[in-house]
Amino acid sequence: MVKGFLCPVCGELLIEEEKSYKCENNHCFDKAKQGYVNLLSSNSQKGHGDNKLMINARREFLQKRYYAHLKNKLCKIIEQYSSNGFFCLDSGCGEGYYTKGIYEILSEKDGKVYAIDVSKEALKFASRSCTNVKLAVASAYKLPFSDESFDIVISLFAPLAKEEFYRVLKKDGIFITAIPDENHLYSLKAAIYDTPYKNKPENTELCGFELIKSEKISNIIQLDCNADIKNLFMMTPYYYKTSQADQKKLDDLNRLSVETEFILLIYRKK
């Protein structure tokens, strides 16, 4: 059972108060007005998370339900592998699009959801839609939780801090992540690059975990305006690796059919 967030200074349990969290050593962390708490210590910070451009692009894109098929499949898997009173961590939750669905499933079973992200800007949005989720700015590489706290850990398109996930998962706990399949977003890449490429197969072995199931999710999404096409592009890593000349190829593109291919991987802690 998760007792709560741990103090990033001394490691003691943080007690939630009306406007702050405080440990027995009087280290105090104020809640933001949106409700989340910043527990990201300077020595645990690795980067600053997604910037406003990527966050806004992803939020606007996901709100149009283009990735609803992935969210729905994720929620079905969580329902399948969860029991009453389960505790779940969404690591790298971003704006909370998937977190909200996770909470809706587990709340029906009296479960609890915690979520962390390194980006304060992302958590400002997550706080609006995930009002019953405990949210903190924190690093996946130094999770503010005790050993063996969670029944399920989820990390979608976020840093794979496998040692920390292993630490905070209970015995036989479930870890769920997602990777792109070979044709994911191929038509988007074809619209940008002279020589588009398919995604290379990824190594799915994780030390300390047993892969118990993989689920392929595929769908063709129809993007009917330039804003949606550019939002999809800006929420991917391609945006920051693409020249301005190639980026401008999207300026006059107002309609695009794009492949979305994901593989959800379900692991059990050995």
Q: The CATH number of the domain where 61 resides is what?
A: 3.40.50.150
The reported pLDDT for the residue numbered 127 is 96
* DSSP three-state, residue 38: strand
CA distances from 89 to 99, 112, 174, 177 (A): 9, 9, 11, 12
Residue 48 resides in a domain: yes
Q: Could you tell me which of 232, 222, 214 has the C-alpha nearest to residue 256?
A: 222
Strand order in the sheet with 28-30: 15-16, 20-22, 28-30
pTM for this one?
0.94
The amino acid present at 244, given as its one-letter code, is Q
Per-residue pLDDT of the chain (270 residues; tens, 9 = 90+): 678 999 999 999 999 999 999 999 999 999 999 999 999 976 554 555 678 889 999 999 999 999 999 999 999 999 999 999 999 999 999 999 999 999 999 999 999 999 999 999 999 999 999 999 999 999 999 999 999 999 999 999 998 999 999 999 999 999 999 999 999 999 999 999 999 999 999 999 999 999 999 999 999 999 999 999 999 999 998 898 999 999 999 999 999 999 999 999 999 999
Backbone φ/ψ region at 217: left (φ over 0), alpha (ψ -120 to 50), beta: beta
Cα–Cα distance measured from residue 171 to residue 176, given in angstroms and rounded to the nearest whole number:
15
Domain that holds residue 99: 15-269
Q: What is the pLDDT of residue 52?
A: 84
Closest by Cα among 101, 141, 102, 135 to 120? 135
Query: Would you state the pLDDT for residue 112?
Result: 96
pLDDT in the model for residue 184: 97
What are 87-121's pLDDT values in tens digits? 999 999 999 999 999 999 999 999 999 999 999 99
- The confidence score (pLDDT) of residue 42 equals 63
The gap from C-alpha 195 to its chain's centroid, in whole angstroms, comes to: 30
Within-domain flag for 205: yes
- pLDDT, tens only, 6-38: 999 999 999 999 999 999 999 999 999 999 999
Helix (H) or strand (E) holding 166: helix 162-168
Count of domains observed in the chain = 1
Q: What is the pLDDT of residue 21?
A: 97
Q: In DSSP terms, which residues pair with 154 in a beta bridge? A: 90, 176
Residue 172 in domain: yes
- 5 is a domain residue: no
Query: According to the model, what pLDDT value does residue 51 have?
Result: 82
Q: Is residue 47, in this structure, part of any structural domain at all?
A: yes
In a domain, 10, yes or no: no
**Domain presence at residue 3:** no
In a domain, 7, yes or no: no
Q: What gap in Å lies between CA 223 and CA 230, rounded to an integer?
A: 10
